[in-house]
Structure 1
Amino acid sequence: MNTSLSSWLVIIVALLAASLPFFTERVFGVIPLKFKKTVWLRLIELVVLYFVVGTMGFLLEANAGNRFEQRWEFFAITACLFIVFAFPGFVYRYLRKHSN
């Protein structure tokens, strides 16, 4: 897989993973709950998905053969970007009016 395709793959997966906690009442989209998901559970799920997507990006970068060293600045920027990617799901869950 070339680097351009793997970069786009990570971006698309990050967009989908960041919004996933807000679009469904299941944990990680597969585990049903007997109670309604709280905002704290959604945030914990968001953090776990950030690390899952980061691990996927790390593996794709290592597979390409040119893994670079990342310091705290890289993780601060990618965490903020992941939060921005979660904005559509947040708007859908908390800011949009739902008709009953």
Structure 2
Amino acid sequence: MDTSTAGWLVIAMALAAANLPFFNDKVFAVVGTKWQGKPLFVRLLEMTVLYFVVGAVGFALETQIGARFPQTWEFYAISACLFIVLGFPGFIVRYLRKRHG
């Protein structure tokens, strides 16, 4: 896999993972909950776990392509903010869209 394909794959995975907690009421789209709908704190916790999963896949792809570059705190701060921004469409659909009926 070349560098460009791996980069786009990680971006697509991040987009899907950031929106996954908002588009279903099951935890990680697998486990049902006892609540009528998932509370916001569960969705945010799920987003945090998925951020680390996508990061691990990204590191694995980077290692497979070649040498893994060392990352500092700035990389993690920016990637976490980007992950939150990628999850914004799901947040809008879940909490801010007006429901009819």
TM-score, normalising length: structure 1: 0.97
Counterpart in the other structure of 1:19 = 19
Q: How does 1:10-89 map to 2 (within 5 A)?
A: 10-35=10-35, 36-89=37-90
Distance 2:28 2:99 in 1: 22
TM-score, normalising length: structure 2: 0.96
Residue 84 of structure 2 aligns with an amino acid whose one-letter code is I
Q: Post-superposition shift, 1:99?
A: 2.1
Counterpart in the other structure of 1:94 = 95
Q: What SS does structure 2 have at the residue aligned with 1:9?
A: helix
Q: Percent identity?
A: 58
Q: Post-superposition shift, 1:61?
A: 0.2
Gapped regions of structure 2 (runs ≥ 5): none
How many aligned residue pairs are there? 100
What RMSD in Å do the two structures reach over aligned CA positions? Answer: 0.7
Distance 1:47 1:76 in 2: 13
Distance 1:79 1:69 in 2: 17
Q: What SS does structure 1 have at the residue aligned with 2:32?
A: coil
Gapped regions of structure 1 (runs ≥ 5): none
